[in-house]
Chain A
Amino acid sequence: MSQETNATALPVGVTGVVTDWSGDKQAFHVPWGKAMMWIFLLSDTFIFTSFLTGYMHVRTSTTVPWPNPSEVFALTIAGHHIPLILIAIMTFILITSSGTMALAVNYGYRRDRKKTMLLMLATAAFGAMFVSMQAFEWTKLIVDEGVRPWGNPMGAAQFGACFFMITGFHGLHVSIGVIYLSIVAFKVYRGDYESRGYEIVEIVGLYWHFVDLVWVFIFALFYLW
């Protein structure tokens, strides 16, 4: 294999693209798991964009006013009526978890097992906190406000279907991420990756950052629109 010998002299830019794609050899100079995770995330991007595009379509085409998210998701805390506050807190929690994850990847490559494990567990804990707050939000909407996938008292009937579909699918991703993080954190602690290297932490990190990335779009397009 010639890729091993000239690995240090790989051309960059457009020539690099041509060289990497041609000549019956490995195209991506990253661990295979990382390339596969990126391709999985690409397919997930298509799924989430389809949901968001469907939401955009029903929202633009309905003749009934759309419920105002700023008021639907407002909370009264200590006598103050604050718009969208729960969603803002959830956003900050997810960003915090993204930060701890980025640090975990860094400590993984430094082979600091204890710090990597602790940071990954912290990330999982923030994720669990996010899902709990989402459960609270769903309960409030279903029980107190009477939102259903087929209708709601505030306006356009499609609001419930879009809301449950999009945030539900995102919540499912966060829940799976929490499990995935916990498993890998345990294996890091046990020392399973001492011989194989710590690329796995970066791969878990890609998944987790993607979950945060999707939330950025949901936050802007569903809650702030």
Chain B
Amino acid sequence: MAEQVEGHQQHPLAIYLYIWILLFVLSTFSYLVDYFGFQGLTRWSLIIIFMLMKAGFIVGIFMHMAWERLALITAILIPPICLLVLIGLMNVEGKYTTKTRGQYFDEQPPVSRIVEGHQTSH
């Protein structure tokens, strides 16, 4: 690829315009998921798919990651994998906390009492 030697990224305008339109379309789709009120697994998978596609196009094309050398790509994109581990752990932890709260708190959990306390103080 010629770009690797030049050191800067120069690509035809058409590709940016194409991705630009694509981002608009994908955002509209994401919005429509909410507008039509999809719920459950359908909602989740659609939101995540549109989100990841948009993220991929922004990083790959607009930020030129697709044309960078593999050394830079790996240096930037591998460390965030640690974050997936954090997300996984916190998800498990969150479920555990919910169960503990369900087990030890009454029907009226303290959280909502705090809310009401602040409401009356206004």
Mutual binders A and B = yes
Q: Which A residues have a C-beta under 8 Å from some C-beta of B?
A: 7-8, 10, 12-14, 16-17, 20-21, 27-31, 35, 38-39, 41-42, 45-46, 49-50, 53-54, 56-64, 70, 83-84, 88, 91-92, 95, 98-99, 101-103, 105-106, 109-110, 146, 148, 150-153, 156-158, 197-199, 202, 205-206, 209-210, 212-213, 216-217, 219-221, 223-225
Q: With the chains together, A205 CA to B13 CA distance in Å?
A: 15
From the candidates A12, A49, A61, A110, name the one contacting B101 in the complex (CB within 8 A). A61
From the candidates A8, A60, A110, name the one contacting B5 in the complex (CB within 8 A). A8
From the candidates B27, B69, B83, B112, name the one contacting A16 in the complex (CB within 8 A). B69
Report the 8 A-B pairs with minimum CB-CB distance, sorted nearest first. A60-B94, A61-B97, A20-B71, A220-B51, A99-B20, A151-B115, A61-B94, A151-B118
| Contact status A49-B80, CB under 8 Å | yes
| Contact status A213-B112, CB under 8 Å | no
Q: With the chains together, A12 CA to B86 CA distance in Å?
A: 32
Q: With the chains together, A50 CA to B76 CA distance in Å?
A: 17
Given A152-B115, A220-B30, A224-B33; A46-B94 close (CB under 8 Å): no
Report chain B residues within 8 Å CB of A84: 31, 34-35
| Contact status A210-B63, CB under 8 Å | yes
Given A8-B5, A151-B114; A213-B87 close (CB under 8 Å): no
From the candidates B17, B20, B59, name the one contacting A95 in the complex (CB within 8 A). B20
Q: With the chains together, A11 CA to B97 CA distance in Å?
A: 51
Report chain B residues within 8 Å CB of A157: 111-112, 114-115
Per the 8 Å Cβ criterion, residues 70-121 of B in contact with A are 70-72, 74-76, 79-80, 83, 86-87, 90-91, 93-95, 97-98, 101-102, 105, 109, 111-112, 114-115, 118-119
Task: Show 23 residue pairs from A and B whose CB-CB distance is below 8 angstroms, ordered by the A residue.
Answer: A17-B74, A20-B69, A27-B75, A29-B4, A29-B69, A38-B72, A39-B76, A54-B90, A57-B90, A59-B94, A61-B95, A61-B101, A84-B35, A95-B20, A95-B24, A95-B27, A99-B23, A148-B118, A151-B115, A158-B111, A213-B63, A219-B30, A221-B51
Given contacts A29-B7, A61-B94, A63-B98, 16 further A-B contacts (CB under 8 A): A28-B71, A49-B87, A53-B90, A60-B95, A61-B97, A102-B20, A103-B13, A105-B9, A148-B118, A150-B114, A151-B118, A157-B112, A157-B114, A202-B64, A209-B63, A212-B58
Report chain B residues within 8 Å CB of A12: 69-70
Which chain B residue lies CB-closest to A87?
B31
Residue B42 at the A interface, CB < 8 A? no
Given A157-B114, A217-B51, A220-B50; A49-B86 close (CB under 8 Å): yes
Per the 8 Å Cβ criterion, residues 1-58 of B in contact with A are 4-5, 7-11, 13, 16-17, 19-20, 23-24, 27, 30-31, 33-35, 37, 43, 47-48, 50-51, 54-55, 58
Interface residues of B, count at CB 8 A: 64
Report chain B residues within 8 Å CB of A158: 111
| Contact status B62-A98, CB under 8 Å | yes
Distance to closest chain B CB from A46 (angstroms):
7
